Structure 1
Amino acid sequence: MAKPPPRSIITMIITNFVNSLKPKKTSGNFKGIDYMGNNYYEIPADPSIGKRQDKRWFVPQNSENFEDVPPEWDSWLRGRRKEPPTEEEIMKNLAIIEIKRKNAIEVEKKAGKPSQMITGYESFPKRPEYEIFPGEHSDKGSTK
């Protein structure tokens, strides 16, 4: 019986380094699409090769704004649920979001506030004693 060649640590290091430079093949199974147009993929776990967890990711519709992920897909991406959300569940949650948006506008109308939902730094209250931007004071109490 032939004796296997001795393993060299330097050979193993060089081999691992070269293999790390090769591009990874991430061709996963398409799992679904949300109402924003994001595509979701998964590579299932395979314990026979030592891979104990699924690998899940999404490809955003708009590469500049990839932070908006619906909650049902977010829970699937993070592994809180095993199965991806169904089309019925997605449509049901979208309808709830629209109802909440309309109700928020109605509440603001009753309170005498503008009916548009304001986002960003404009949505915060303005106080005369605080600066809006460094060095800029509001109209009341301006030191300029």
Structure 2
Amino acid sequence: MANKPTRDVIGIIFKNFWKSLRPRQFRGDYIGEDYFGNKYYEIPANPSIGKRKPSRWFEPADKEAFDQELTAEWEAWLRGRREEPPTREELVKNLQIMDMKKRNAAELEATYAKGKDDKALPKQVDGPTIGTFPKYKEYEFIPGKEPPEK
């Protein structure tokens, strides 16, 4: 008769306990920093111990502020939507685009605000607006009550 491997529950428990005593990596590797001053860290995946995904987090520049801003590139990296962290050149390019959009928005706001002439803003139409509907006497306005008389 061939020797069949049996499940030794006590042995499995002891082996898992012994593996749990091994030192683990608690400090992450420094990956980078964004222009807000946030620092990003990662503990890489280790499939040999059952860790399939890397652990990623950031330390905010101001630890007291709860409304932290993150760049879209770093947020995508944190959530695992991109494998590689963003490069410095990519961050600078997107910051320049963001500044250009802010300048353009300020110019448009100044153009519309200073003139307030008929050409800058569309005219208000007098009369019925969108969302007004005809009212009929035979329909109830408030259920169970008679409609108000005009």
Using structure 1 for the length normalisation, give the TM-score: 0.61
Task: Give the aligned residue type for 1:82.
Answer: E
**Deviation readout 1:11-46 (Å, 9 max, x if unpaired):** 99xx8xxx8xxxx86301100000010000000101
Supply the distance in 2 between the matched residues of 1:83 and 1:36 (Cα, whole angstroms).
Answer: 20
Supply the distance in 2 between the matched residues of 1:82 and 1:35 (Cα, whole angstroms).
Answer: 20
Supply the distance in 1 between the matched residues of 2:76 and 2:35 (Cα, whole angstroms).
Answer: 16
Match of 1:85 in 2: 86
Structure 1 alignment gaps of length 5 or more? 114-144
The structure having more radius of gyration, on CA atoms, is 2
Match of 1:35 in 2: 35
Match of 1:101 in 2: 102
Match of 1:73 in 2: 74
What are the within-5 Å matches in structure 2 for residues 1-144 of structure 1? Answer: 7=10, 26-63=26-63, 64-112=65-113
Give how far 1:67 is off: 2.6
Using structure 2 for the length normalisation, give the TM-score: 0.58
Give how far 1:6 is off: 7.5
**Deviation readout 1:53-108 (Å, 9 max, x if unpaired):** 01000000011145310000000000000000000001001111110111110010
Counterpart contact for 1:60–1:66, Cα < 8 Å: no
Counterpart contact for 2:25–2:43, Cα < 8 Å: no
Structure 1 residues 66 and 48, CA, compared in 2 at 3 Å: closer, same or farther?
farther
Supply the distance in 2 between the matched residues of 1:51 and 1:6 (Cα, whole angstroms).
Answer: 23
Q: Percent identity?
A: 47
Q: Flag as ranges the 4+ runs of structure 1 deviating above 4 A.
A: none
Supply the distance in 1 between the matched residues of 2:102 and 2:74 (Cα, whole angstroms).
Answer: 20
Match of 1:131 in 2: none
Secondary structure of 1:111's counterpart equals: helix
Secondary structure of 2:73's counterpart equals: helix
Supply the distance in 2 between the matched residues of 1:88 and 1:65 (Cα, whole angstroms).
Answer: 28
Secondary structure of 2:108's counterpart equals: helix
